[in-house]
Amino acid sequence: MVETLVLKAQRRESKGTRASRRLRTQGQVPAILYGHKEEPVAVTLNYHDLALELQHHHRLLEVELEGKKQQLLLKDVQYDFLGDKIIHVDLARVSLDERVTVTVEVVLKGTPVGVTDGGLLDHILTEVEMECQVTTIPESIKANIANLKIGDSLTAGDLVLPRGADLVTDPSATIATVRIKGEAVEEEEPEEAAETAEPEVISREKTDEEDKS
């Protein structure tokens, strides 16, 4: 696992779309820090350092503001209309012994036997929700699918989670399946299990919205 950086934050006095655009041209990203019954704080972060953390799928970030370091959970990332440039992030204050619900990418490993036999692999669910201690959030969950034959499926319940983690996604939800060529794929129904949870959302915005105060 790549070691996390200490992100340097500076208080942001100017707000609004125009001010935020100016900050981005200077290599900064507008952000908001909130949670733990403390006042929200508008800050800026170095774009390059933040992008590097996101590239390595880090969710727990260490941020230094005015000489004080704090642990923050990445809750929301907004992108520009092209979906490739970060325009705003939300960071929530957390304790290292806190349990949180997060969405984690599922990475498939291996070539299924069924594909070798002429079948097609469908990666239906690319992420799952899980609850775990904030210090044990994995970058991804890897699943070996080499033994899947035609007609076989990998479900969320088959995934091996980090020790102490609990699956929030419906265990019966299909992650991947190997089917006969030409066979239609059934789409998953929306998960009801997630209604009671409040996972972080990492979204790609279609418009450059007004920044949060």
For residues 109 and 80, state if they share a domain. no
In this predicted structure, the answer to whether residue 190 has a pLDDT above a threshold of 70 is no
What is the average pLDDT across 175-181?
93
- Answer yes or no: are the C-beta atoms of 130 and 93 closer than 8 Å: no
**How far are the Cα atoms of 30, 47, 116 from residue 210, in angstroms, in the given order?**
11, 19, 50
d(CA 31, CA 189): 34
In this predicted structure, the answer to whether residue 211 has a pLDDT above a threshold of 50 is no
For residue 182, count CB atoms less than 10 angstroms from its CB and return exposed for 0-12, middle for 13-18, buried for 19 or more: exposed
The residue ranking higher by pLDDT, 168 or 83, is 168
166 belongs to a structural domain: yes
What is the average pLDDT across 144-161?
96
Tally of domains within the chain: 2
Longest CA–CA span in the chain (Å) reads 61
For residues 60 and 112, state if they share a domain. no
In this predicted structure, the answer to whether residue 75 has a pLDDT above a threshold of 80 is yes
- Answer yes or no: are the C-beta atoms of 23 and 16 closer than 8 Å: no
For residues 121 and 64, state if they share a domain. no
What is the average pLDDT across 41-59?
91
Segment holding 33, helix H or strand E? strand 28-35
pLDDT grade for 198, boundaries at 50, 70 and 90 = very low
- Asked which of 94, 115, 150 is the last residue of a domain, the reply is 94
In this predicted structure, the answer to whether residue 208 has a pLDDT above a threshold of 90 is no
For residues 137 and 184, state if they share a domain. yes
Q: What CATH number did the domain enclosing 165 receive?
A: 2.170.120.20
Tokens 């996101």 sit on residue: 54
For residues 90 and 106, state if they share a domain. no
Quote the mean pLDDT of the chain: 84
For residues 184 and 123, state if they share a domain. yes
Q: What CATH number did the domain enclosing 89 receive?
A: 2.40.240.10
26 belongs to a structural domain: yes
What is the average pLDDT across 40-56?
92
206 belongs to a structural domain: no
For residues 110 and 90, state if they share a domain. no
For residues 127 and 82, state if they share a domain. no
In this predicted structure, the answer to whether residue 25 has a pLDDT above a threshold of 90 is no
Report the pLDDT value the prediction gives residue 90, as an integer from 0 to 100.
95
- Answer yes or no: are the C-beta atoms of 140 and 169 closer than 8 Å: no
Residue 108 has, within 13 A of its CA and on its CB side, a CA count of 23
For residues 134 and 154, state if they share a domain. yes
213 belongs to a structural domain: no
Supply the pTM of this predicted model.
0.71
What is the average pLDDT across 61-81?
92
Q: Is 178 left (phi over 0), alpha (psi -120 to 50) or beta?
A: beta
**How far are the Cα atoms of 14, 119, 164 from residue 198, in angstroms, in the given order?**
30, 37, 19
Residue 29 has, within 13 A of its CA and on its CB side, a CA count of 24
1 belongs to a structural domain: no
In this predicted structure, the answer to whether residue 202 has a pLDDT above a threshold of 80 is no
For residues 65 and 105, state if they share a domain. no
For residues 109 and 87, state if they share a domain. no
User: Which structural domain, as residue segments, surrounds residue 51?
Assistant: 6-94
For residues 69 and 10, state if they share a domain. yes
